[in-house]
Structure 1
Amino acid sequence: MTAAEPTGRVLVVDDDLTVSDVVRRYLERAGHQVALAATGEDALRWIAENEPDLVVLDLMLPGIDGLEVCGRLRERGAVPVVMLTALGEEENRIAGLQLGADDYVTKPFSPRELVLRVNSVLRRAKAPAPPSARRLADGDLRLDASARKATLGGAELSLTGREFDLLEFLMSHPGEAFTRTQLLERVWGWDFGDQSTVTVHVRRLREKIELVPAKPARICTVWGVGYRYDRSV
């Protein structure tokens, strides 16, 4: 790990003690402080008493499952979540993204890849805004890049880190069409990955900023290409 990489307090939630121990060792080697929880109940109790910078969350947990934990985390705020899912759990993965998870890694996974994903999410969450960060406005939709805050009609929007990054990028490039692959590269920083991640995040943004999400006026689908942001005024 380079000195430029962010570090933070990471909670790893997995009932497989072997997996959680391996993940812990790799994350600690990368400079992170790591806590472990084996159940959703334990995770929620720990989070109620602590402020993690990021949660690594297995979706298949005994008792309260990972999807419910993710949903409760989103009710509390925008703490970043990296999901762990089995290779065949596409529906659960999409459900997790719809609940606001920032990233995912499929099992079996490389611990090094997980560390890279954790670092990537933390880097964006902790990155200070550049001096030239602008305040973007489109009618009653306003975005302050330095404060990491977006409002619609004066009311603050509850956005995850990735949702904010995606909205900021699209608003900064009105009228330009981008493929899902381009958005993965420019917003997520991935040169590979599941394009449904972009689709799910676009859907969530539409639910929060569009008057009629099924007929979006701002984030428009460009058939055969991807998406384009159209200013409302």
Structure 2
Amino acid sequence: MSGVLLIEDDDRIRLSLAMALEDEGYTAHGVATAEEGIAEQRRQPAETVLVDLMLPDMDGFECIRQIRRFDDVPIVVVSAKGDTHDIVAALEAGADDYIVKPVAVKELAARLRALRRRARAVTGPALDVHAFGDLEVLPLAGEVRLHSEPVLVTRTEFQLLCELADHAGQVLSRQQLLERVWGYEIGDERLVDVHVGRLRQKIEDTPGKPQHLVTVRGLGYKLQP
């Protein structure tokens, strides 16, 4: 794998971010369009992808969706668009995190380190299989099954599900999940909410009335044993 891929059409920002990340010990290279970025990720997969939302050939949301069709690589949006709608839309498209420009490189590097630690960690509790009725979570195999059929989830979704499965029946707060899944002592709790919503679309027969991944109002989330 080739480090960090920057999909950013502003030459100045792309080059300065690449240089700054290299100063932090990363290998970074960039492209100016979504099409180039998608093709590059297919050809030579990066460990992490940074995506701007305002690209000349397609918007960043669609770029993320297209990458997600073939790769579960951690994706971080780096954009000047910082309102709640854009942040939630990017996470729903499949991004793992969102940083608003101007970028503090130290903060970005810290988040990338957390993503990489998470990607390399072995999510291996004592059980090979956690069963919740028709839902099965297989941490060691890296699989999720519903009605015995495989469920396609991103790396972040999988690790969130494993964390909840490890503590079946226990309520985990959003802050606990941010710390354990994203590695952030301080972070935006919307990351948790949106990823829970995405998981429900995949593991619940009726996402609007979840039977597996439930909300405990005012406290957090749990997987029903």
Q: Which residue of 2 aligns with 1:20?
A: 14
In structure 2, the residue matched to 1:4 is none
Q: In the alignment, does 2:220 pair up with 1:226?
A: yes
Does structure 1 residue 123 correspond to structure 2 residue 104? no
Q: How does 1:5-16 map to 2 (within 5 A)?
A: 8-16=2-10
TM-score between both structures, scaled by the size of structure 2: 0.92
Contact 2:164–2:172, Cα closer than 8 Å, also in 1? no
Cα shift at 1:126? 2.2
2:104 counterpart residue number:
110
Tell me, in whole angstroms, the C-alpha distance in 2 between the residues paired with 1:22 and 1:146: 39
1:184-203 matches, cutoff 5 A:
184-203=178-197
| Deviation for aligned residue 1:163 | 0.5
Q: Distance in 2 between matches of 1:127 and 1:56?
A: 21
Structure 2 gap ranges (5+): none
Query: Structure 1 stretches of 5 or more lacking a match?
Result: 1-6
Is the aligned partner of 1:77 residue 2:77? no
Cα shift at 1:131: 8.1
**Structure-2 separation of matches of 1:165 and 1:129:** 7
Q: For 1:141-180, what per-residue CA distance to the aligned partner results, in whole angstroms no more than 9, with x for missing partners?
A: 2222223221222222111111111100111112211221
Match of 1:3 in 2: none
The root-mean-square deviation of aligned C-alpha atoms, in Å, is: 1.9
Q: CA deviation at 1:85?
A: 2.3
Q: What amino acid is the match of 1:188? A: W
Tell me by how many angstroms 1:21 deviates: 1.6
**1:126-205 → structure 2 map (5 Å cutoff):** 126-130=120-124, 132=126, 134-205=128-199
Report % sequence identity: 38
Residue type matched to 2:75 in 1?
V
Partners of 1:124 and 1:12 in 2: CA distance:
20
Match of 1:213 among 203, 207, 215: 207
How many equivalent pairs are there? Answer: 225
Give the 3-state SS of the residue equivalent to 2:140 in structure 1.
Answer: coil
Taking structure 1 as the reference length, what is the TM-score of the superposition? 0.89
1:193 CA drift (Å) = 1.5
